[in-house]
Amino acid sequence: MRRVKLDRIDRKILSDLQQNGRMTNVELASRAGISAPPCLRRVRALEEAGFIRGYHADLNAELLGYGVTVFAQVGLSSQAESDLKAFEALMQSWPEVRECNMLAGETDFLLKVVATDWDAYQRFVTTRLTAAPNVSHVKSALAIRSTKNVPGVPIPVEG
């Protein structure tokens, strides 16, 4: 990946794409104040440099049958790098684990898990998560509602 120095136009492109990844290149260029061909070149450069990792649709989990979101704090018996990597690889293979973050402190990992209902989550915990190699304990927190779910990071366009 080559390093790209971000200017105001690059930040505007990133900000607009983060808000609406389906925006056409023509609309994106217009909003950034440049023509379409250089806008497309900039987007490609931002992708190649790793600033843009991908595009996705924001789906309604509840309408798709996932009525429960749980944050699971997982403690491991060993924090050896090979054990951490093995746990991370296992989490990659479980589709109901939507996020996996390694933490500093008492908890080794914080998982965001979706399930159809509380019983399905409990089955996941008892048959898979606590049964996984190196897992010593799991503490669950049921999300009651989500009032903010903004993807990405804040991007200052000016400055």
The token pair at 83 is 């054990």
Please indicate, yes or no, whether the overall pTM of this predicted structure exceeds 0.85: yes
Report how far residue 9's alpha carbon sits from residue 49's, in angstroms, rounded to the nearest whole number. Answer: 16
Contact 158, 7 (CB under 8 A): no
Question: How confident is the model at residue 159, as a pLDDT?
Answer: 63
- Domain residue extents for the chain: 8-48, 68-142
Q: List pLDDT tens digits, range 127-138.
A: 999 999 999 999
Cross-strand bridge partners of residue 141: 71
**Average pLDDT of the chain to the nearest whole number:** 95
Architecture of domain 68-142: 2-Layer Sandwich (3.30)
2 vs 59: CA distance, rounded Å: 33
- Quickly tell me which residue has 């804040």 as its tokens: 154
Whether residue 1 has pLDDT greater than 60: no
Q: Is 48 helix (H, G, I), strand (E, B) or coil?
A: helix
Beta strands 68-76 and 109-115 are antiparallel
pLDDT digits (tens, 9 = 90+) for 80-117: 999 999 999 999 999 999 999 999 999 999 999 999 99
pLDDT at position 76, please?
98
Question: Is the CATH number 1.10.3720.10 carried by domain 8-48?
Answer: no
